[in-house]
Chains A and B, each alone.
Chain A
Amino acid sequence: MANKPKLATVSLAGCFGCHMSVLDIDDRILELIELVEFDRSPINDIKEIKGRCAVGIVEGGCCNEENVHVLKHFREHCDVLISTGDCATMGGIPALRNTIPLQECLEEAYLKGPTVYNPRGKLPNDPEIPLLLDKVYPCHEVVKMDYHLPGCPPSADTLWQALVALLTGKPIALPYELIKYD
């Protein structure tokens, strides 16, 4: 069917749990396919957004330069951008590292661990792996986000109701039980 609105989804510094929660809408996924056409998403092989998207779902905050590039690209190409889950909304568990200097985390992982074998004492450092930000940033500190869906992850019902409302041009009215931080 032509002219279906497009939906793009991405995981930045997230755990994929929010994407899994989208799949937890179960058989409603077949209804979703009727409503939208998928653009870039980890479930297909479109590596970069191809067309104008009505809705962009962003899981995870920004922990490296690559996350920032991708988030900005999503902002440019999506009419509505949703911070999905606690990581996108406020950094989430990955942001627990925000109080610790980077160097300490590096040394812990690559020099100190009981199973580490690193005779030359080298840390990962290669042009092919992205530069880290000193902190994990929630998405709205990097670009404007239109909606925030809390939860870790937001429940499938929360995601379903929000998506259907947005895609059919209705206001999002989520009952209290569907708004949950954990």
Chain B
Amino acid sequence: MSVAKRIVIEPVTRVEGHGKVVILLDENKKVISARLHIVEFRGFERFIQGRPFWEVPVLVQRLCGICPVSHHLAAAKAMDRIVGGENLTPTAEKIRRLMHYGQMYQSHALHFFHLASPDLLFGFDADVAIRNVIGVAGKYPALAVQAVLMRKYGQEIIKATAGKKIHGTGAIPGGVNKNLSIAERDVFLRDADQQMTWAQSAVKIAKDYTVANLAKLAPFGSFDSNHLSLVRADGAMDLYHGNLRAIDAEGKVIFDQVDYQSYVDFIAEEVRDWSYMKFPFIRSIGPEKGWYRVGPLARLNTAKFIDTPLAEAARKEFIAVTSGKPNNLTMAYHWARMIELVHAMEKIHALLNDKDLQGTDLVVKGERREVGIGLLEAPRGTLFHHYKVDKNDQVVSANLIVSTTNNNEPMNRAVAKVAQDHLQGVEITEGLLNHVEVAIRAYDPCLSCATHALGQMPMELTLVDYQGQILDRKSRG
């Protein structure tokens, strides 16, 4: 099979970070291959070595500015174990949870309204000129204002708990460095009912859209897969803490209530030479068939129930569509995400009324350990942080499996499926190419933090500054 045409979508837009899709077609316009390449590199696992461990929660969030709180808290949870402080005081745990739910709220609102909604509101192949959030603001101004204020609410909660909207410092090993004052709390309480109404209207938009277009959306970028997330001991959805649970496409349990301190025995990541992002899989099944999905869709599938009433009612409607079986539709991610938005807001509301937030017992310490593993459910899925720290308090090794990395194989499957269903044997237009991105966007990928590694290729490169001076010459291979 010879390649007759190479189509490149670069950069993939309205996602966070840097990705590129390459589709190869033969002379009969048949798809030979379709891949999402991750083109970004950081080198975090190596350059973190030697840094003091208490610096890590602040440093590591610079991997991702859309969900810095997720990295901040996952690293803090790992460092809790290093200082023997994993049994947080009630105030510390609740402040962290409030920060996390605020993050979930702003990130889900951002993704749905600012990034994905143009495809849903205007159509996958709408004019590029309006197919963006500014187009949405032009046509649906009330919705745009609501989107901005929902994101702002979440960001303000982060600021009140972490000190800053982006890259805060609130969580420290063994606890937090501030509580929430009554004055800060009252500002959020005042707006809580309005936010709850908006969150419920968002879930309605996502549900109505999905149900009304089910025939078209069901096959779109879809395939069967395993699903993985943390769940609480009683099987409830828990976004901040829990044990690992994995199920297959039919809902059969692969493993359940696994203590994540032993995640290495259950999860591995395959290296493929055409992407800087690794491909995780469940060890007992192997790389071929052991890959899985994470994030809102996976969480709706793995959780036995949601412990807040409005989100639970929304979940029941969601699972009714697939008669209680796991939902494997890529485009159902949006609906699942909005159910979590409601859940996050319900949790925020309950926490705001909890007196523990004004407590003053903020930090605990216990017996020092050398290994710390911290997991949580970030907006985009299960996030793994794993560190070793020596006696001098310096980090000696780090292993991260970032949420989006878990979805690497699924995103590639979605790209291949859409390419086969929509790009074969036809005249390829910009609107058709956007179909590929629509499928990627369903996963709300965060491609900048997914790739903290470096690569190398056999070629030569010279970096010249604006005055023509050679800064760097590299030759490899």
Contacts and interface: CB of A to CB of B under 8 A. Distances in A.
A142 B463 contact: yes
Interface residues of B, number: 89
A108 B46 contact: yes
B183 interface: no
Interface in A1-43: 11, 13-21, 23-24, 26-27, 29-30, 33, 38, 42-43
Contacts of A93: 59, 62
A153 B148 contact: no
Instruction: Give the most central of B166, B280, B459: most A CB within 10 Å.
Output: B166
A165 interface: no
B65 A129 contact: no
Given A68-B463, A116-B269, A134-B474, A27 B456 contact: no
Given A124-B276, A124-B455, A17 B62 contact: yes
A17 B471 contact: no
B114 interface: yes
A144 interface: yes
A122 interface: yes
Interface string B20-59: 1010000000000001011111110111100000000001
A20 B164 CA distance: 12
Contact of A131 (B9, B13, B131, B459): B459
A131 B461 contact: yes
A124 B264 CA distance: 22
A172 interface: no
A110 interface: yes
Interface residues of A, number: 75
B184 interface: no
Contacts of A65: 461
Contacts of B413: none
Contacts of B17: 11, 16
B46 A126 contact: no
Given A45-B128, A123-B273, A135-B472, A109 B454 contact: yes
9 contacts: A14-B448, A15-B64, A24-B165, A42-B13, A45-B13, A97-B454, A105-B45, A106-B453, A152-B62
Interface of B: 9-11, 13-18, 20, 22, 35, 37-43, 45-48, 59, 61-66, 68, 110, 114-115, 128, 131-134, 137, 144-145, 148-149, 151-152, 155, 165-167, 263-264, 267-276, 278, 280-281, 287, 386, 399, 401, 434, 437, 448-449, 452-459, 461, 463, 465-466, 471-472, 474, 476
Given A47-B13, A64-B41, 8 more contacts: A20-B66, A24-B165, A42-B14, A43-B132, A75-B466, A93-B62, A105-B453, A137-B463
